[in-house]
Structure 1
Amino acid sequence: MSTPETVSADESVDRWADVRDLPPSAKLVAKVLEYNDTLTQSELADETLLPPRTVRYALSRLEDADVVDSRFSFSDARKRLYSLKI
C-alpha cells in the first residue's frame, strides 16, 4: 500500500512527463511558472535571466506540449499572461 507521500511524488513525476524531453530553457520557464502563478513574457525573462527570444521559444515549446495556458492581460491587452497547467 502506498503512503500519501509516495502518491504525491508519483503524481509530481507524472505531471512533469510532458516537460521532460523539452529544452532546458523550457524546463526553467516551467519551473519559474510553478513558483509564480501568472507571469508575462517580460517578467519571465527577468525571473529566468534568459533573453526574451529564448523565453519566446520556451513558451512556444511549452504551449505545443500543452502544459502552459496563456491569456490576454486585462490591464494591458498587448501583453499575454502565462500560467502552468500541470
Structure 2
Amino acid sequence: MSTSDVQQAEADEEAVGWEAVRDLPPSAKLVAKVLEYNETLTQSQLAEETLLPPRTVRYALNRLEEADVVASRFSFADARKRIYTLRIE
C-alpha cells in the first residue's frame, strides 16, 4: 500500500466517522467538536467547555457512544468519573 493509499484510507475513515455525527442533535455535534480539540475530558469538563447543562451533555455523550464515535474509560485520578475521547481522527 502506498503512502497516498494510506492517506486516502484515513480520510475515508474520518469521513465515515463524521458522517455518523451528521444526523445527531446539535448538542452531540458540539460535544464531538469540543472533544476533537481537547482529546479527553470528563462529563463535567464538557459541560463547562460547551456551556450546556450536565443532563444535555450526558444525553449527547450517550448518542455519540451509540454512534460509536466516542469512547469512555474510568479516570485513574477519580474512579467515580469517566473520561471521554473522540474516536474520529
> Do both proteins adopt the same fold according to a TM-score greater than 0.5, normalized to the shorter chain?
yes
RMSD after superposition:
1.9
Amino acid at match of 2:29: K
Identity, % of aligned positions: 74
Aligned to 1:35: 37
Give the gaps of 5 or more residues in structure 1.
none
Shift of 1:77: 0.1
Equivalent pairs, count: 82
Task: Report the structure, 1 or 2, having the larger helix content.
Answer: 2
Aligned 8 A contact 2:17 2:69 in 1? no
> What's the TM-score once normalised by structure 2's chain length?
0.83
Runs of 4+ in 1 over 2 A off after TM superposition: 10-15
Listed as ranges, the matches of 1:1-86 within 5 Å are: 11=12, 12-86=14-88
Give the gaps of 5 or more residues in structure 2.
none
Measured in 2, the distance between the counterparts of 1:69 and 1:19 equals: 14
